[in-house]
Amino acid sequence: MKKSIYKKSNQNVRVAVVEDHQLVRHSLVFTLKKEPQIVVALQAENGYDFIEKLPNHDIDVVLLDLDMPIMDGRETLRILRRDFPEVKVIMLSMHEDPWIVSELIHEGAKSYLKKDCSFDEMVNALFDVKFKGSHSNELVESSLFGTIDKNLKLHDNTIRFQLTARELIVLKLICDGKTSEEIADRMNLSKKSIDAVRSDLLKRIGAKNPTELARKSILLGLYQARTDEQIMEEEKLEEQRKNARKRSRYQDMSSNEEDF
């Protein structure tokens, strides 16, 4: 793990930890307190609790859990961006879905960490976010600048057309010849949502139909044509990921039932 160059500063990072699981929260706080330049100034069990306490504390960066009761991380992020823009946010979650990561970054999060990340990465992220304004890692980069399989790299035209990670994925699947129903099933979205994205992409890129969209996307560097074998292999991998996510959700539900 490459050390953050900003950690060399003599300044402290004042941190808030917002996590609904008490054991996880206390463990994070206990571990972070071992770092000399990190000051854990506030901890809260959900977004509402955090927003209520925040005016009485000076916070640089908050480690914000995504999934919490009463007020989750996404809603808390929106309130912070509106009412406390000086507080920088690092989202914490076990989710790896690229469109979730991309949306949270676009909504104002300065980084996104999985809960099983190393302590060194978390510390580096805290220093980077305070002193540099953001922290990038493989998950953030692949979500913002690529697709699920990381084959689509950042291109100047991605910025020119202001395409998000979700739109890039839809664009790729349209160019692959997938129907709105197939794309909706793949991305766990409604057909209506996919149709809206499809229509917007056609207008934005100036194409009359999917065939012209594919041609222009190739010329613009937004899409890389692949063989049928490559597409089938990707679909196989995505099906495996989908099944893995289902098993993970089932295990979480079973764990929650055991808690009761």
Written in H, E and C, the secondary structure of 184-244 is HHHHCCCHHHHHHHHHHHHHHHCCCCHHHHHHHHHHHCCCCCCCHHHHHHHHHHHHHHHHH
Q: Where are the beta strands (DSSP E) in the chain?
A: 13-18, 38-44, 61-65, 88-93, 111-114
For position 165, what pLDDT does the model report? 65
CA dist 252 and 67 (Å) reads 12
In the predicted model, what is the mean pLDDT of residues 246-253? 52
3-state secondary structure of 147: coil
In the predicted model, what is the mean pLDDT of residues 43-50? 91
- Decide yes or no: CATH 3.30.300.30 for domain 5-143: no
Dihedral of the alpha carbons of 55, 61, 66, 181, in degrees to the nearest 10: 120
Domain extents for the chain?
Answer: 5-143, 147-225
Share of the chain above pLDDT 70, in %: 78
Per-residue pLDDT tens digits for 188-244: 678 898 999 999 999 989 999 999 999 988 888 888 777 788 778 777 766 766 666
CA dist 175 and 218 (Å) reads 9
The amino acid occupying position 233 is E
Per-residue pLDDT tens digits for 78-98: 899 889 999 999 999 887 777
In the predicted model, what is the mean pLDDT of residues 57-83? 90
Q: Which CATH architecture best describes the domain 147-225?
A: Orthogonal Bundle (1.10)
For position 92, what pLDDT does the model report? 92
